[in-house]
Amino acid sequence: MKVLFLNGPNLNLLGTRQPEIYGRTSLQDVEVMVRQRATQLQVEIDFRQSNAEGDLVTWIQQSRGIVNAIVLNAAAYTHTSVALRDAISACELPVIEIHLSNVYARESFRHHSMIAAVCRGTICGFGPWSYILGLEAAVNLNSALK
C-alpha cells in the first residue's frame, strides 16, 4: 500500500510558525513520525510540501492509479481552492483532509472547507498526531476495500 502526504503553503515553516497554534515540531519531524508508523503498518510513504496551489493540483492528478490514498493538509488553500476540490473529485482516490489545529476553534473563515465535501473525512486539532490518524484512516479504508 502507498499513501501520498501533501502539505500546502507555510507548512514548511512548522516548528517556528506561530508555535502557540501549530506547536514546535518541524515538518521534517512530522515526516519522521509518519514514516515510523508507516513502517509498522508496512505502508510506503511519499511526503511532499509546496507553497504553490498548482503543484498540489498536479501532484493530486499524477497520483491517480499510483497511490492508494492521499492525506492532505491543504493549509490555507483548504478555505479557498476550487482547483484543489476539482482535482480531488477527479482523482478517484480516497482523500483524507487533515489539520494540525482545530480550525473550528479559530477564525470563522477557517470554519469552511472548500474540500471537505469531496474528501472521505476530516481530522483536525490533534497537532502532529493528526498526520498519524490520517495514515491510520487511510490504512483502514484500504483494508475495508479488500
14 binds ligand DQA (CB under 6 A): no
What part of residues 28-87 is at the interface with ligand DQA (CB under 6 A)?
A: 73, 75-76, 78
Nearest alpha carbon to residue 34 among 146, 102, 137, 133: 133
Question: How far apart, in Å, are the Cα atoms of 80 and each of 76, 112, 134?
Answer: 7, 9, 22
Provide the angle, in degrees to the nearest 10, between the axes of the packed helices 129-145 and 27-41.
30
Shortest Cβ distance from residue 55 to ligand DQA (Å)?
15
Number of residues that bind ligand DQA (CB under 6 A): 10
99 flagged as catalytic: yes
99 binds ligand DQA (CB under 6 A): yes
Quick check: helix, strand or coil at residue 103? helix
The total of other beta-carbon atoms located within 10 Å of residue 70's CB is 26
Shortest Cβ distance from residue 99 to ligand DQA (Å)?
4
Element housing 27 (H / E) = helix 27-41
131 flagged as catalytic: no
103 binds ligand DQA (CB under 6 A): yes
- In the complex, which residues of this chain contact ligand DQA (CB under 6 A)? 10, 73, 75-76, 78, 99-101, 103, 110
Active site residues: 22, 99
